[in-house]
Structure 1
């Protein structure tokens, strides 16, 4: 089997508060060494952190491409999302998410490149500062900066809140997604949504903990000053990717971020919005692979 067709293995990490965190993993160094497969030991591992309300499957195509280049790649379900444990105390602060990420990096046991979308990007900023440049070697922020657009963030929360009671059918869920992401081509079949939904008591529910939304003081987006200072202190290579259609990261916010973090690089995807990785995955993956492998 060629490396480009290797499927990820599902694995489990132990996060803070003893939570089990599920991930997809390509090219586990130990497994690849035993099997004699191709693995580039000279490069850091890649750890991908999704946005709020998403899960590890949002990275599948990019993970596959990075894995095909011989990189060790981990796409993590954050606490309360996907198949990872939910926090009994509804603890979903950026500090808690960062504590999980630091634990995962310890278990990976190698330096990493962090790729974080939205909530995952903010988590990545704090994690990179806490871990230090010898552990987190590079950081990619996907359509997020500490000083985001509040209207865009509110639209995300409104979408998540409005469907917290689930859908009668996959078709209803597909209609809701199409209305929320009008710029994205609609899939022919809604079957792919099964990766993001779970069926309970005859209805389909998003696969994240509703408690994630119930404590606004825990919203990772509320830590603007903390995260901005953390970003300013970073000395590692940073790439900010913005979807040109984004209503969460404005052009003004990009200019402000690049002024405060002048060594950061910037790329814009013309056909993408806030969910950049899924909106234009080919262009997104090209930019990511170039930065990671450089």
Structure 2
């Protein structure tokens, strides 16, 4: 099936993306330091199950390029991506992509177009000290200190977004060497008891790399349910 290429002009950058397949749309947002091709094994499974995966390179990554930007800029990019797609749109955000998706969810028109949100090994308000320690152990974050400070400084407002939303939310945790702690997951459930939490035991933080088939199975099950619910309500 032929890929469809996307190019969204955001004034300072052009967001580059690829989509293929027919059916309910699933927007895939990669983690920091990655690019959209990381989703290829997951996207293949989604297409096989009648879904339409669309993946973009976020600003500062891949073919989109440019500087890393701020969380608000990333959120604006996600809103532009969702606006360009036929709705409803299920959004899957890994790490940085998940935080950008939560920030985008604060916009009512964006939330109205989302059938649900899958957060892949990230919570809206990660513990700053614990996250910095994890990043240091992984040797990550070099050259992105301003963005990391921005992300970690916005935890309370992102937590409030998830607490207030009616959009279904699923948290998929990596089972090994994950920055998301049990306390983080409990805090998310306290903010929004409707959140579903699951885990993939053999995956680390980069779940799409470590366990693409297991992650794809969760996405297929979850987004198919959301698509059915959206069709019934429409």
**Structure 1-normalised TM-score?**
0.69
Alignment partner of 1:262 is 2:193: yes
Provide the residue aligned with 1:125 in structure 2.
102
Alignment partner of 1:102 is 2:33: no
Provide the residue aligned with 1:80 in structure 2.
60
Deviation at 1:12, TM superposition (A): 2.9
Residue in structure 1 matching 2:152, options 221, 237, 243: 221
Deviation at 1:134, TM superposition (A): 2.4
Counterparts of 2:141 and 2:194, CA distance in 1: 37
Deviation at 1:224, TM superposition (A): 0.6
Unaligned 5+ runs, structure 1: 1-5, 28-38, 163-209
After superposition, the Cα gap between the structure-2 partners of 1:10 and 1:98, relative to the gap in structure 1 and judged at 3 Å, is same
Counterparts of 1:153 and 1:46, CA distance in 2: 30
Counterparts of 1:265 and 1:138, CA distance in 2: 11
Counterparts of 2:148 and 2:11, CA distance in 1: 20
Provide the residue aligned with 1:113 in structure 2.
90
Residue in structure 2 matching 1:14, options 8, 17, 21: 8
Correspondence 1:44-193 to 2 at 5 A: 45-87=25-67, 92-130=69-107, 131-149=109-127, 150-156=129-135, 159-160=139-140
After superposition, the Cα gap between the structure-2 partners of 1:126 and 1:148, relative to the gap in structure 1 and judged at 3 Å, is same
Counterparts of 1:104 and 1:227, CA distance in 2: 20
After superposition, the Cα gap between the structure-2 partners of 1:242 and 1:217, relative to the gap in structure 1 and judged at 3 Å, is closer
Counting matched residue pairs gives 222
Counterparts of 2:148 and 2:210, CA distance in 1: 30
Deviation at 1:216, TM superposition (A): 4.7
Alignment partner of 1:281 is 2:212: yes
**Structure 2-normalised TM-score?**
0.86
After superposition, the Cα gap between the structure-2 partners of 1:20 and 1:154, relative to the gap in structure 1 and judged at 3 Å, is farther
After superposition, the Cα gap between the structure-2 partners of 1:79 and 1:154, relative to the gap in structure 1 and judged at 3 Å, is farther
Counterparts of 1:156 and 1:96, CA distance in 2: 22
Q: CA RMSD in A?
A: 2.1
